[in-house]
Amino acid sequence: MIRRTRPVAGAIALLAALTAGIAFPAGAAADEPRGDHAPKVDLVLDVSGSMRAKDIDGQSRMAAAKQAFNEVLDATPEDVRLGIRTLGADYPGDDREEGCKDTAQLYPVGPLDRTEAKTAVATLVPTGWTPIGPALLQAADDLDGGDGSKRIVLISDGEDTCAPLDPCEVAREIAAKGIGLTIDTLGLVPSAKLSRQLSCIAEATGGTYTSIEHQDELTDRVNELVDRAAEPVVTPVAVEGAASCDTAPELRSGLYTDRQEFGQQRWYRVDLPAGQELRASVSVAADRAVRPDYGILMRAVTLRGREIVRGEATGNGRTDVLSTGLRHPKPELDDDSDEPSTETVCLGVTTSFSADAGVKTTPGLPLELTVDVVDGPDNASDVASFGLGRGWWLLGALIVTGFLAGLVWGWLSRWRVAVWRTN
């Protein structure tokens, strides 16, 4: 009986699929970027001999990278065109000229066949040199064409061995072409020299640098960067903060970049219209060697200098980016008006980074500021800057109720004891 019903069910499913295809021919493909508009990502992996080192969660760096790549390939969004390029994977000899040519496209940038890509990754064996500069030049060509977002994710455990082709200069040349290509870099168990080089490469194109010491960190970060490629591109607006709120630039909702000197305070102004609330965050990247135990403070202050709310964070030298944020509810109602007035909020950003002698402190550390002015809650008094709002009334009522209940219970207990003794 089951065998007889399967052809009927199959025919019904086929008919439904054909009907759906006829009824919605354009809708199925409308949600996916096609052709020239699809985002592109090229994962560039260091397969040099040093990737044999077993210092990532008890396994080799190569094994950790393979495991991370398999998980990333499973999670890659369908609309992302992804490729994989290697450096140092094929030439095992000592000829420097040949070693510095050793970069190849392991999997071409395009629609992803997950099984084929995983099979290609499984064949990799740590082999040769570390030609980062030549690999970046070739990766830029891999991503050529189209007007979608373009991103290179470079993963390496050692600095370039093919100077004088400086990979930092290569990154600057790529940025100067104006093709909108971003390079993000990840350093596996990095040294100070590798961190400086990878930071320079990333900064040249507006990308990010991340130090990696565990396999799950590598997986999470690469996944995040691949997902980011599929998001709408937002170009930060360069802005220069002032030494005081009086002369600070006025900001609206958006993404901004600035540079902040060590231990400096920068001010920005935001007008908060009636019925709106402010949400702001700031990130500062340590793109050079800094001393541990640093911090960042963001404050929302009135024009008269009264602090409204603050956000702060501290670092211990193990993180490359330090972030914090704050939220300020919409303005309260004026005493003589039925409508809240526009409020000017001063945003102050203070950092406590310091550097050893010999470390350049100029230009300042890169700072990214996000400002979002959005609709506030229906009743401004429902939300207070300390987060409890009218919850204080409920808390007070509960305290009083508990106190009275305790008194009544104590009186009843004494009365019962007195009655028992009398009897």
Q: Tell me if 395 is assigned to some domain.
A: no
pLDDT given at position 419: 65
Q: Examine residue 139 and state whether it is found in any structural domain, yes or no.
A: yes
Q: Is the pLDDT at 395 greater than 90, yes or no?
A: no
Note down the domain range covering 320. 237-382
Tens digits of residue pLDDT in 334-343:
555 555 578 8
pLDDT of 376 > 70? The answer is: no
Judgement on whether residues 155 and 209 belong to the same structural domain of the protein: yes
Q: Does 326 lie in the same domain as 210? A: no
Residue pair 325/280 in contact by the 8 Å Cβ criterion: yes
Same domain flag for 322 and 207: no
Q: pLDDT class for 9, splitting at 50, 70, 90? A: very low
What would the pLDDT profile of 355-367 be if each residue is shown by its tens digit?
Answer: 888 888 888 888 8
pLDDT at 411 (0 to 100)? 75
Q: What share of the chain in percent tops pLDDT 70?
A: 79
In a domain, 186, yes or no: yes
The reported pLDDT for the residue numbered 2 is 35
Q: Which of 209, 230, 251 is the last residue of a domain?
A: 230
Residues 72 and 94 in one domain: yes
pLDDT at position 113 is 95
Candidates 351, 144, 169, 369; CA nearest to 265 is 351
Let me know if residue 5 belongs to a domain. Answer: no
pLDDT at 371: 92
Residue 200, helix vs strand vs coil: helix
Q: What is the arithmetic mean of pLDDT over 364-373?
A: 88
Provide the mean pLDDT of the chain. Answer: 81
- Whether 148 and 73 map to the same domain: the answer is yes
Average pLDDT value for residue range 155-160: 94
What is the reported pLDDT for 106?
Answer: 96
In the sheet where 254-260 sits, what is the strand order? 237-238, 254-260, 365-375, 276-285, 321-328
Last residue of a domain, one of 230, 260, 292: 230
Q: Which pLDDT band, with edges at 50, 70 and 90, does 10 fall under?
A: very low
Residues 191 and 126 in one domain: yes
Using the predicted structure, report yes or no on whether residue 209 has a pLDDT greater than 60: yes
Write out pLDDT tens, residues 78-119: 999 999 999 999 999 999 999 999 999 999 999 999 999 999
Domain membership of residue 16 (yes or no) is no
How confident is the model over 261-296, as pLDDT tens digits? 888 899 999 998 877 888 899 988 877 788 888 889
CATH of the domain at 255: 2.60.120.380
Q: Is the pLDDT of residue 238 over 60?
A: yes
Residue pair 87/47 in contact (Cβ under 8 Å)? The answer is yes
C-alpha distances (whole Å) from 298 to each of 277, 347, 355 are 16, 7, 21
Phi and psi at residue 289, to the nearest 5°: -65, 125
Does 299 share its domain with 353? yes
Give the predicted TM-score (pTM) of the model: 0.55
Q: Locate 191 and state its tokens.
A: 């040294």
Considering its fold, how many domains does the chain have in total? Answer: 2
- The verdict on 179 and 88 lying in the same domain is yes
What is the model's pLDDT at position 21?
Answer: 38
Determine the pLDDT at residue 11.
38
Q: What are phi and psi of 71, to 5 degrees?
A: -70, -35
| Residue 190 in this model has a pLDDT that exceeds 60 | yes
H helical segments located in 24-113: 27-30, 61-75, 96-99
- How far apart (Å, rounded) are the C-alpha atoms in residues 374 and 381? 17
Return the H-helix or E-strand segment holding 108. strand 103-110
